[in-house]
């Protein structure tokens, strides 16, 4: 629900009600929509056709029980000065109190709800996404219980009920503490706008002395001047709300207006372009995670439109949200967009899953995130998914990360420079097919499900077939530096030789200096798995910055097959006498397919200008980023 403005020419409810009853008696039309609390589509567009759905439940404000048999009529509200709207759709609440209207165009609507023994209600709202609203219908017998004996029902008076929906789809403490006001519009009669204002409590009764909403988010204005235009507005520190003008209540009717609000979040727009073809927006799922400066983990909650601590009670059910839940229509085109907060996005990772949500959990003991598993067949091994890095730590960093596997060939772009990063492929399987063409073990990097669908291409350190793949190349390099000096400058100057015992002793200097600041001895040759993974003994990345740079440089050179060359900044993935034709073919193929041949094929693949990371200031990032999903092959069922 967005802003509500200029509600004029609203119909007289009694005239409307008689028309409704006539149509209802003649032929009552059902929307054909089934109320389902688990439906992922709530909160977003129903599809690229720009049609939406409004649904919810109607309950008693006192018993909280569902009310069946409540007649609901949805009427389009015309713009000011235009002809009255038509009866658009009708429904009757079922045993669970549910109502549903589907196939709605964006615009303003009101819903009339009524039944024998109940006070007629009129609910006003704007539709620009799928919406869910839980409403209450006061029976004539409940009126005194709710409003108190001092304020009896008078059919000559009008009543306005305003609901502050701080986070649409949620109901809880976030709706408390909202100050709601109502005033007559200029030119209306000079009498006071209402006789009394109260706020509904959890038990359904009205506290006429409270100054702000309780958890229900509801304020009630008793004795409002009927048939006069009013303006309603809401406020809460740290939040922004829609407002509504020209709310004109009819006598004897409880007119409800929903004012949507959200926390004011400083961030930037993220747009997901779904070019998969074979996956609708409702079957593409996104999960955004990060940390704060203390190391606490957070996730983006689509309901609260904000980063929320993973230890939140409702976190596990809310990690993933569908693209349809972030749909918006711009110039007649459906786009999938949300606002990414800057806060709590240190070490940020965003995951996209195709077909179903991924398994992201919480390790409550470690207070850490349990990430999706591409290895476990009972979790995500047979789900197509991937991740990209989106970090906000004083600057915004955007990057593909395929050091573990490639599941989705993303294309990434900052709008501030329009420079594409990642991959540009005709079909996602184009990259996997390059591996499948091979006749050696590299073809086994392609992981398929039992029906032959390609799930991903995985890095060699995940396969035992490559545990010794680089052994000869590593041995040749060690032998080379037993008789030749390593002398390379990369941030620091590294000079050294392999000793008779097989250790590699290297002096570290500042660039253009002869003063040794540290000597590092690598005790023995690394194995292939350690090199492919770029971490572990005998070259862990837990030493001093200069030693870590040395380890990273050696790993990068061995992965590329250039360790031992006079110039290790070129001739990557080319056979020479030292590498014995052994190098990281996984990274080689990814580079061949990447835009500008730049991508992270292993952890230290940023050496010598191969870094694909994009970094922007917060002001530049506010222009937005775009994540493009490639065409995906049809899945064999």
Segments of the chain with pLDDT less than 70: 1-50, 79-87, 167-172, 188-190, 316, 637
267-462+610-629 topology per CATH: Thaumatin (2.60.110)
Rounded to whole angstroms, the Cα distance separating 279 from 453 reads: 14
What is the radius of gyration, based on Cα positions, of the chain?
31
Strand partners, 412: 421, 627
CA 29 vs. chain centroid, Å, equals: 36
Look up the CATH architecture of domain 13-263: Sandwich (2.60)
pLDDT for 79 equals: 59
Give the model's pLDDT for residue 172. 64
Residue 313 to residue 303: CA distance in whole angstroms: 14
Beta-carbon-side half-sphere exposure of residue 65 (alpha carbons within 13 Å): 6
**pTM of this prediction?**
0.71
Quick one: tokens of 394? Answer: 């004083």
Nearest-CA neighbor of 129 among 76, 79, 169, 74? 169
Residue 81 DSSP label: T
Q: Looking at residue 316, what is its pLDDT?
A: 67
- Distance from the first to the final alpha carbon of the chain: 38
Angle (CA) 64 68 73, round 5°:
110
Specify the pLDDT at position 30: 32
Distance CA 354, CA 350 (A): 14
CA atoms within 13 A on the CB side of 633: 17
Evaluate whether 309 touches 296 at the Cβ level (below 8 Å): yes
Q: Please state whether the peptide bond connecting residue 125 to the residue before it is cis, i.e. omega within 30 degrees of 0.
A: no
Residue with tokens 């253009």: 512
Predicted local distance difference test score (pLDDT) of residue 102: 87
Q: In this predicted structure, what is the pLDDT of residue 103?
A: 86
Output the pLDDT for position 51: 77
Q: What percent of the chain has pLDDT over 70?
A: 89
User: 545 in helix, strand or coil?
Assistant: helix
183-225: per-residue pLDDT in tens?
988 776 667 889 999 999 988 899 999 999 998 899 999 999 8
For position 170, what pLDDT does the model report?
Answer: 56
Q: Of 526, 581, 534, 584, which Cα lies nearest the Cα of 555?
A: 534
DSSP 191-233: S-S-SEEEEE-TTS-EESS-SS--TT-EEEEEEEPTT--EEEE
- Tens digit of pLDDT for each residue in 400-442? 889 999 999 999 999 999 899 999 999 999 999 999 999 999 9
DSSP, collapsed to helix, strand or coil, labels residue 528 as helix
Q: Report phi then psi at 257, rounded to 5.
A: -125, 135
3-state secondary structure 11-28: CCHHHHHHHHHHHHHHCC
């Amino acid at each position: 629900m967005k802003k509500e403005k200029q509600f004029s020419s609203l119909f007289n409810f009694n005239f409307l009600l008689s028309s409704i009853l006539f149509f209802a008696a003649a032929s009552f039309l059902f929307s054909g929509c089934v109320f389902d609390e688990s439906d992922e589509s709530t909160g977003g567009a129903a599809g690229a056709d720009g049609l939406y759905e409004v649904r919810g439940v109607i309950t008693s404000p006192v018993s909280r029980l569902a009310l069946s048999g409540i007649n609901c009529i949805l009427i389009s509200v015309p713009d000011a000065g235009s002809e009255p709207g038509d009866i658009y759709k009708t429904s009757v609440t079922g045993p669970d109190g549910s109502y549903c209207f589907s196939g709605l165009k964006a615009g303003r609507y009101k819903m009339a709800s009524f039944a024998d023994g109940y006070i007629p209600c009129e609910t006003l709202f704007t539709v620009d996404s799928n919406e869910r609203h839980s409403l209450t219908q006061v029976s004539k017998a409940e009126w005194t219980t709710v409003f108190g004996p001092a304020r009896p029902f008078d059919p000559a008076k009008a009543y306005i009920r305003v609901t502050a929906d701080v986070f649409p789809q949620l109901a809880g403490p976030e709706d408390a503490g909202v100050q709601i006001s109502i005033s007559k519009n200029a030119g209306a009669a000079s009498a006071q706008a209402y006789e009394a204002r109260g706020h509904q409590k959890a038990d359904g009764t009205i506290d006429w002395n409270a100054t702000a909403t309780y958890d229900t988010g509801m304020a009630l204005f008793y004795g409002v001047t009927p048939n006069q235009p009013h303006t309603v507005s809401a406020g809460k520190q740290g939040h922004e709300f829609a407002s509504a003008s020209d709310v004109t209540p009819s006598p004897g009717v409880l007119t409800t207006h929903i004012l949507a609000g959200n926390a004011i979040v400083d961030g930037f727009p993220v747009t997901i372009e779904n070019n998969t073809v074979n996956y609708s927006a409702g079957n593409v799922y996104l999960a955004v995670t990060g940390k704060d400066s203390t190391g606490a983990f957070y996730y983006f909650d689509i309901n609260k439109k904000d980063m929320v601590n993973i230890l939140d009670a409702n976190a596990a059910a809310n990690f993933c949200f569908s693209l349809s839940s972030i749909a918006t229509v711009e110039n007649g085109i459906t786009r999938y967009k949300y606002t990414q907060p800057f806060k709590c996005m240190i070490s940020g990772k965003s995951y996209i899953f195709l077909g179903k949500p991924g398994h992201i959990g919480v390790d409550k003991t470690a207070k850490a995130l349990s990430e999706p598993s591409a290895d476990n067949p009972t979790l995500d091994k047979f789900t197509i998914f991937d991740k990209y890095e989106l970090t906000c730590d004083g600057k915004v960093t955007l990057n593909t990360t395929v050091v573990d596997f490639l599941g989705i060939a993303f294309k990434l772009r900052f709008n501030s420079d329009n420079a594409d990063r990642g991959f540009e492929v005709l079909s996602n399987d184009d990259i996997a097919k390059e591996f499948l063409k091979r006749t050696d073990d590299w073809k086994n990097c392609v992981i398929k499900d039992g029906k032959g669908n390609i799930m991903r291409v995985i890095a060699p350190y995940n396969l035992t077939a490559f545990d010794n793949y680089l052994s000869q190349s590593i041995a040749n390099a060690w032998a080379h530096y037993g008789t030749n000096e390593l002398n390379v400058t990369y941030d620091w100057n590294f000079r050294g030789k392999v000793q008779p015992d097989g250790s590699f002793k290297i002096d570290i200097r500042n660039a253009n200096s002869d003063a040794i600041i540290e000597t590092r001895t690598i005790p023995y040759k690394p194995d292939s798995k350690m090199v492919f993974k770029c971490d572990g003994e005998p070259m862990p990345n837990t030493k001093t910055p200069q030693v870590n740079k040395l380890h990273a440089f050696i790993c990068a050179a061995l992965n590329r097959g250039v360790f031992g060359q006079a110039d290790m900044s070129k001739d990557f993935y080319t056979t020479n006498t030292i590498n014995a034709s052994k190098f990281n073919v996984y990274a080689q193929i990814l580079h061949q397919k990447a835009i500008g041949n730049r991508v992270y094929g292993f952890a230290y693949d940023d050496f010598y200008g191969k870094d694909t990371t994009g970094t922007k200031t917060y002001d530049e990032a506010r222009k937005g980023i775009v994540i493009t999903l490639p065409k995906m092959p049809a899945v064999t069922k």
